[in-house]
Amino acid sequence: MATIGGDYMDIVRFGMIGYGKVAQLHAQAIRDSLGGTLVAVCGRNKERREAFAEQWGIAGRATVAEMAELDHIDAVIIATPHPQHHDDTIAAFDAGCHVLVEKPMALTEAQCTEMILAAERSGNMLSVVSQRRWYPSSLRIREAIDSGKLGSPAIAQAIILGWRDLAYYESDPWRGKWGTEGGGVCINQAPHQFDLMHWYMGPVSRIFAEWDNVNHPYIEVEDTAVATIRFANGGMGSILVSNSQKPGIYAKVHIHGSSGASAGVQTDGGAMFIAGRSGIAEPPVNDLWTIPGEEALLATFRQQDEAFFKTIDPTTYFFSRQIDDFARAINEGSRPMVTGEDGRETVRIIEGIYRSGRSNEPIVYS
């Protein structure tokens, strides 16, 4: 038994699907979590999975079905390249497991819907890795919206000014190609900011976008995209995401309310984090806070977040918090903070940007 917030819960037995750079982060995050333990890994490459299994002191299996049968896992974390997320998720549900799948949930909205339906048929839980929701600076904005301090969320901005070099794209053969990655900055780097945007604003109703490759001639996919969004609540959004600024500047999500007040989070600063290659350069902080009577709190929030950042391993800490949330949801039979529907909404934004850019027409959702 483990205790989170004073409550007791059963330890969830996790299996890992995948054994690459992101899987390493999740393995450490599970080890640091209160609610989970890692007991097995599976994948097609026997040499790589056995090396991962030996490193973490766990079993290595060929399939998720073997992990379920032999290692009695309750849940899996899917840490394979995102074109595999759909098939790996379906296989995990067929094996009777709960699923926490890395971002993006899948390549298309239709694939996401199939994954959600598979979860419903199996009676098991589906969640999508979106650890930036657990940043204190991100949670403050959610709390300000819920308490009505912003009025209705009316305008959203999501900005990424980052960089990916040739070595990054050469690090995995599937990167930078439409057929194997499904896109560029929108599908790989921007899902976290898109997730925060719709977490604050709600579902999307219309997207108009343009995208292009500014300075990466060695890849097929876009390194930059701009878009305007209308949300179902009537609010509007603006997106600028790019991997064409050396060495990377920042990523931000700002929300402006009908009250005239604004709140923002800089989720990433300095050179952008790359799993297995770099650390997190700067703490996530609130960079905008104009709620009447609370303007002076911005400096306090920054001090708190900078101090907290020094006490944790930021590459894994927030993964651990999501794992604990997922474990609690499994134990209680309740909804996790991030649902399959949330993951689908992020993919809807991504797919809408690509479709609109190709057709030069707005994409409208009912």
Per-position DSSP letters for 154-184, written without gaps between them: EEEEEEEE-B--HHHHHTSTTTT-HHHHS-S
What confidence tens digit (pLDDT) does each residue in 261-281 have? Answer: 999 999 999 765 555 455 567
- Mean pLDDT over 24-37 rounds to 97
Q: What is the CA radius of gyration of the chain?
A: 20
Structure tokens at 165: 């070099």
User: What is 132-312+340-364's CATH number, 2.30.110.10, 3.40.50.2300, 3.40.50.300, 3.30.360.10?
Assistant: 3.30.360.10
Round the average pLDDT of the chain to a whole number and report it.
94
Q: With a cut of 60, say whether residue 30 has pLDDT above it.
A: yes
Q: What whole-number distance in Å separates Cα of residue 352 and Cα of residue 280?
A: 30
24 pLDDT more than 50? yes
pTM: 0.95
pLDDT digits (tens, 9 = 90+) for 102-156: 999 999 999 999 999 999 999 999 999 999 999 999 999 999 999 999 999 999 9
Residues of the chain with CATH 3.40.50.720: 2-131
| DSSP states along 203-228 | -EEEEEEEEE-SS-TT-SS-SEEEEE
The four Cα atoms 231, 236, 242, 245 give a dihedral, to 10 degrees, of -150
Contacts of 252 (CB under 8 A, 6+ apart): 157, 158, 159, 193, 264, 265, 266, 267, 287
CB burial readout 302-325, b (16+ within 10 A) else e: bebbeeebeeeebbbbbbbbbbbb
Is 96:13 a contact under the CB 8 Å cutoff? no
Number of residues assigned to the chain: 366
Pairing between strand 204-212 and 224-231?
Answer: antiparallel
Instruction: State the pLDDT at residue 1.
Output: 44
Residue 242 β-bridge partners:
161, 224
Q: How far apart are CA 290 and CA 259, in angstroms?
A: 10
pLDDT at 272: 59
**Looking at residues 216-239, what average pLDDT do you find?**
97
Amino acid 248: pLDDT: 87
pLDDT of residue 253 exceeding 70: yes
In the chain, which residues fall in CATH 3.30.360.10?
132-312+340-364
Give the separation between CA 278 and CA 357, rounded to whole angstroms. Answer: 32
User: pLDDT for 142-194, tens place per residue?
Assistant: 999 999 999 999 999 999 999 999 999 998 888 999 998 999 999 999 999 99
**Residue 366 confidence (pLDDT):** 75
248 versus 231: which is more confidently predicted? 231
| Domain range 2-131, its CATH number among 3.40.640.10, 3.30.70.100, 3.40.309.10, 3.40.50.720 | 3.40.50.720
Question: In the prediction, which pLDDT does 8 show?
Answer: 46
% of the chain at pLDDT higher than 90 = 91
* pLDDT for residue 293 is more than 70: yes
